Amino acid sequence: MKEVLIAENAGFCFGVKRAMNMAQKELEEKKDISVYALGPLIHNKQAVEKYENMGLITIDKIDDVNQNLESEMIIRSHGVPKITYDEAESKSIDIVDTTCPFVKKIHYIVSKGEEENKSIILLGDSNHPEVIGINGWCKDKAIIFKELEEVKDYDFDKTKEYLVVSQTTMNEKNFDNIIEYLETLGLKLSVKNTICSATRVRQQAARELSQKVDVMVVIGGKHSSNTQKLVKICSEIVDTISIETKEDMKDVDFSGYNKIGVTAGASTPDWIIEEAIEFLKTC
């Protein structure tokens, strides 16, 4: 039998667990009203399907809420721009806000920074819903960078005051490199490291385990940014296989590996991790 080692802090983080529990409570207690989720509840297809089977209706935009029926709309843990709250209020749509408190804190920081006339630098992926949400709290004025190269190409204005925040799931090393560079430019700069500790601890545990095993299996959604970051971190150290569920491992040849490490992204439910571990033990 293979030796399977599980990284500490694999799977649901505090914010996702909280959001999923809140959504479950709504679905269980409000059976006679329509419960919508604005965007997939988490970046995990299997978990979203499970909740949809309980009655959750996933929508892309507020206009998809059927206002003729009694309903409420869940805002997911990634958070949304301020305009979404305003729109819901103007349409009298009740909101169940599962935005992670750590993301809420960034909304507050950038909104205050913008009020104080600071230019907001937001480090992260401009297409990620969390980043889109944060940007919406500083009137969509944030300067968004993902990589150091983009920062190097940007023409900064030394008369301005800059406030830097980051997406909660940003790679710490990338963040440090960018800050180090920005600090050489002689700008008026204040920096808030808003990387979530859950991400930091999970990434560190994955890094450490990668050094002790023959192969790493990273479980999580293909669209989950924090999962894909774990894949990158592990693959820099050891052979790494990225899967969504145990089904994805059916054609993988594990014969050359004795010690298998497992980690999982913040939106991977426990039951999917357990199924994968059981499969790995017998492969």
Question: Residue numbers of the site for ligand F3S (CB under 6 A)?
Answer: 13-16, 77, 100, 102-103, 168-169, 196, 198-199, 266
CB of 12 to ligand F3S, least distance (A): 8
Residue 84 assigned ligand-binding role: no
β partners of residue 239: 215
Q: Are 231 and 240 in contact (CB under 8 A)?
A: yes
Q: Hey, what are 222's tokens? A: 């293909």
Query: Other C-beta atoms within 10 Å of 37: how many?
Result: 23
Residue 126 assigned ligand-binding role: no
Active-site annotation holds for 130? yes
The residue whose Cβ lies closest to ligand F3S is 15
Q: What is the DSSP letter of 249?
A: G
The catalytic residue among 26, 28, 72, 130 is 130
Residue 283 assigned ligand-binding role: no
Residue 267 assigned ligand-binding role: yes
Q: Is 25 exposed, middle or buried (0-12, 13-18, 19+ CB in 10 A)?
A: exposed
Query: Other C-beta atoms within 10 Å of 31: how many?
Result: 10
**Minimum CB distance to ligand F3S smaller for 103 or for 142:** 103
Q: What is the DSSP letter of 118?
A: P
Q: Give the separation between CA 139 and CA 238, rounded to whole angstroms.
A: 42
CB of 175 to ligand F3S, least distance (A): 14
**Minimum CB distance to ligand F3S smaller for 213 or for 273:** 273
Task: Summarize the annotated binding site for dimethylallyl diphosphate as residue ranges.
Answer: 43, 78, 128, 224-226, 267
Residues classed as catalytic: 130
Task: Summarize the annotated binding site for isopentenyl diphosphate as residue ranges.
Answer: 43, 78, 128, 224-226, 267
